[in-house]
Amino acid sequence: MIIEVTNIPNPEITCSNCQACCCRLQVIIISETGVPEKYIEESDWGGDVMQRLDDGWCVALDRETKMCTIYENRPWVCREFEMASYECEVERSENGL
Ligand code: SF4
Ligand code: SF4
């Protein structure tokens, strides 16, 4: 029997060759994971979101290392965003990667 395997992640896509593209998206806080209050703001539509600074990236991103400084407490949305997923590839390509 031949089993066709699909959706194999592209091995060339890793967070280590990315500039944290997905950390420029609006991150909605939909559950309590321990994100510090100082990093949360109310969006223009009234929901809680991660603050972004003028450079576009999430306030919790370390600008030097491009690592999340609140990794253990990062929002649920961040936990669900999969490396090498379709959404990941879209973000990378929109940022020229
Ligand atoms: S998940 Fe994708 S978009 Fe986000 S940092 Fe990793 S490679 Fe970049
Ligand atoms: S909380 Fe962390 S993983 Fe989520 S967008 Fe901000 S820096 Fe990225």
Which tens digits make up the pLDDT trace of 48-79?
Answer: 999 999 999 999 999 999 999 999 999 999 99
DSSP state of 70: T
Cβ neighbours around 23 below 10 Å, total: 23
Ligand 1 lined by 91 (C-beta under 6 Å)? yes
As a whole-number percent, the residues of the chain with pLDDT over 70 amount to 92
Mean pLDDT of the chain: 93
Residue range 24-29: average pLDDT?
Answer: 98
Indicate if the pLDDT at residue 5 is higher than 90: no
Mean pLDDT of 14-20: 95
What is the structure's pLDDT at 11?
83
**DSSP per-residue letters across 32-61:** -S---GGGEEE-TTS-EEE-B-TTSSBTTB
Best residue among 14, 21, 86 to mutate for probing ligand 1's pocket (most ligand atoms within 8 Å of CB) is: 21
**Cα angle: 93, vertex 42, 91; to 5 degrees:** 5
30: number of CA atoms within 13 Å, CB side? 8
Instruction: Show me where the domains of the chain are located.
Output: 23-92
